[in-house]
Structure 1
Amino acid sequence: MYTQIYVFIPLTFSHGAHGYNGVRPFYITNALMGIATAWLGMGWFQRTGWRSMMVIGHASLCGCFALAAWLVARDRGADASLAILIVFAIVFTFGESLILPASNIALAGLTTDGNAGRYFGASAISWAIGGVLGNFIGSAAARWTVLAPAWVMFMVIALTGLLAFRSRWPQ
């Protein structure tokens, strides 16, 4: 997720008609939507299983990336209107705001009293490695002359997560 939000989205949309000023509303919307989702969803997060949150979050990301792939394939990606970019930010942030707490809830359920630090430490290391690799891959993909395959790749990754968490694995 961080590859898309911190590398690929700004590098893609900064080439549009609005330049880097067109990316600023994305980050403002991302911040406000993240706060709103956390504030409004707090009770729901406690009542809903982590797997459901993962499925809804990954479905949201699939839709977001499918929209981006479609816009880019129609040569409207970087020049898409600010309204479309704001909608993109809302859908993306909603998915992100469900996946992040769900992963912590799932991880907390796996730990015992004596090994919680190890589990969360290993999780933090995996996020760091993913961030490093993701930023490298996102930067490389943003230089591609055709950007639609990168958005399709992000959609396939989100779809893989959706299908994995939708399966009948034990809670």
Structure 2
Amino acid sequence: MTSVQEPPTSEETAADETTADETAVEEAAGAGSGRARGKDRLRAIAELPRPVKLGLATLFVMNAATYVAFPLLAVKLTTVDHASAVQIGTTLTVFLLAARLTPVVAGPLADRYDPRIVMAVGALARGIGFLGLGLGHGTGQLLVSAFLAGVGAIYEAPVSALLAAQPEPLRSRAFALENALLNAGVIGGPALAAALLAVGPRAPFVASGLLFVLLLLVVRGITMPGGGREPEAPQSVLRHFTHVLGHRWFVGFWLLMLPWWFLFTQLGVAVPLRSDALADTNWISVLYLANGVVGITSILFVKRLHDRYGARLMPALGYLLVAVGFGSVSLSQSPWWLLACVALYSVGETVILFSSQLILASFAGGSTRASFFGIYAGSWALGGSVGNYAGSRLAADPLSHTPWLLFGAVGLVAAVVAALTFSRREI
């Protein structure tokens, strides 16, 4: 297999890249023209290796295709399949657990064997899964389809490993672009779904499934670092696990991010419940749109913070913004105030997601990159599961102030712990 075509590594090229970055910062800091900044950003994207750009494009398609169907799943199960509350809850739980637990195993498998095999299996599984969720109706069919759709999440770890393998400043540019494209998928997917609903309630699921199947045609053209398996690769998947779990700072970071995934799930649990109580169901779509738009528009600001101060204190800043955003919800019962709080939360979300990718990339190296990203998904599985359960219980009275004060407190404590932990180590 062909390895990634990395940019030249001579001292002169590195100096040129450094000079270009410094010039871009100076132009942005001055009175400067937006046109010059735009050209710099386009040039920075153009400098990314072709496999990286191709991998980022597939992540956008995958996220958009997911959001074509997934936000409509509970509605389709209720109105078309007439599923019970237990069936709906079980289907969603199977999807969540499959999506967050299978990458724990798939990451080391991608490092041990060809990552493109894992990516192809992920795309095919999610495509079949969403087709099944759209066309199936029996309990058994729905649960199998939900499992397959969740398994599709194994696609992400090999792509993240590909981005992590790039040298700086290409690495941070790639992760910033990834964040923007994922948010664009959150916006574009539901927009496409709204148009497809005119055809019928199953149409978004069929379109989603077909988009995933089409990704199979692209995966083959993505070349990976070292051809997918580097000479120093551990000889068994178990050794990948022991290597990653023996990394003290990674384990600490894995634990540190549990509160984040607890809070992150409230965007799909406590926030919609509060929104529905303050306004109506349609307002939930407005909040999700705001989340995606703020994510896209704030990533450039977040990257500048990273370039200036580094990644080590970014998680603490993100936790602080999320804590203030969620904690402030208790100050008013206006839906517009809730929108403003979600917007502030979204900036914190961008800070945390962007910096966490770079921190993971700093831990991951050589033949274990996908293992780090895959095993990290277990933090999402545990923290998100607790968040789903606790959020639904705490927000049972959606107009109560107590849940939001508790969410804010969780964020503040996590911010303090993150600041104390990572101030002791430059990442």
Q: Structure 2-normalised TM-score?
A: 0.36
Residue aligning to 1:95? 348
> How far did 1:116 drift?
1.8
Q: Please, which of 123, 140, 157 is the counterpart of residue 393 of structure 2?
A: 140
For 1:89 and 1:145, locate their aligned partners in 2 and report how far apart those are by CA, in whole Å: 15
> How far did 1:152 drift?
1.6
Residue aligning to 1:37? 298
Residue aligning to 1:126? 379
Is the Cα contact below 8 Å between 2:312 and 2:425 reproduced in 1?
no
> How far did 1:55 drift?
2.2
1:36-75 CA distances to partner (integer Å, 9 max, x unpaired)?
A: 122454444344322232122111112112211333xxxx
Is the Cα contact below 8 Å between 2:327 and 2:406 reproduced in 1?
no
Q: Please, which of 358, 375, 391 is the counterpart of residue 105 of structure 1?
A: 358
Residue aligning to 2:41? none
Matched, 1:19 2:280: yes
Residue aligning to 1:170? 425
> What SS does the aligned partner of 1:15 have?
helix
Q: Please, which of 327, 340, 345 is the counterpart of residue 66 of structure 1?
A: 327
1:59-94 CA distances to partner (integer Å, 9 max, x unpaired)?
A: 1112112211333xxxx2xxx142x12211210100
Letter in 2 for 1:90: A
1:146-165 aligned at under 5 Å gives the runs: 147-165=400-418
> How far did 1:125 drift?
1.8
Between 98-107 and 51-60, report the one with greater CA deviation. Answer: 51-60
1:123-152 CA distances to partner (integer Å, 9 max, x unpaired)?
A: 112112222221122112221477322112
For 2:365 and 2:275, locate their aligned partners in 1 and report how far apart those are by CA, in whole Å: 45
For 2:410 and 2:389, locate their aligned partners in 1 and report how far apart those are by CA, in whole Å: 16
Is the Cα contact below 8 Å between 2:270 and 2:391 reproduced in 1?
yes
CA RMSD of aligned residues (A): 2.0
Is the Cα contact below 8 Å between 2:364 and 2:372 reproduced in 1?
yes
* 1:163–1:41 Cα change, 3 Å: closer
* 1:29–1:147 Cα change, 3 Å: same
**Bigger CA radius of gyration:** 2
For 2:335 and 2:364, locate their aligned partners in 1 and report how far apart those are by CA, in whole Å: 46
For 1:36 and 1:10, locate their aligned partners in 2 and report how far apart those are by CA, in whole Å: 23
Residue aligning to 1:8? 270
For 2:374 and 2:346, locate their aligned partners in 1 and report how far apart those are by CA, in whole Å: 25
Residue aligning to 2:239? none
For 1:3 and 1:85, locate their aligned partners in 2 and report how far apart those are by CA, in whole Å: 16
For 1:103 and 1:145, locate their aligned partners in 2 and report how far apart those are by CA, in whole Å: 31
Unaligned runs of 5+ in 1: none
Residue aligning to 1:114? 367
Greater than 3 Å deviation, 4+ residue runs: 39-48
Unaligned runs of 5+ in 2: 1-262
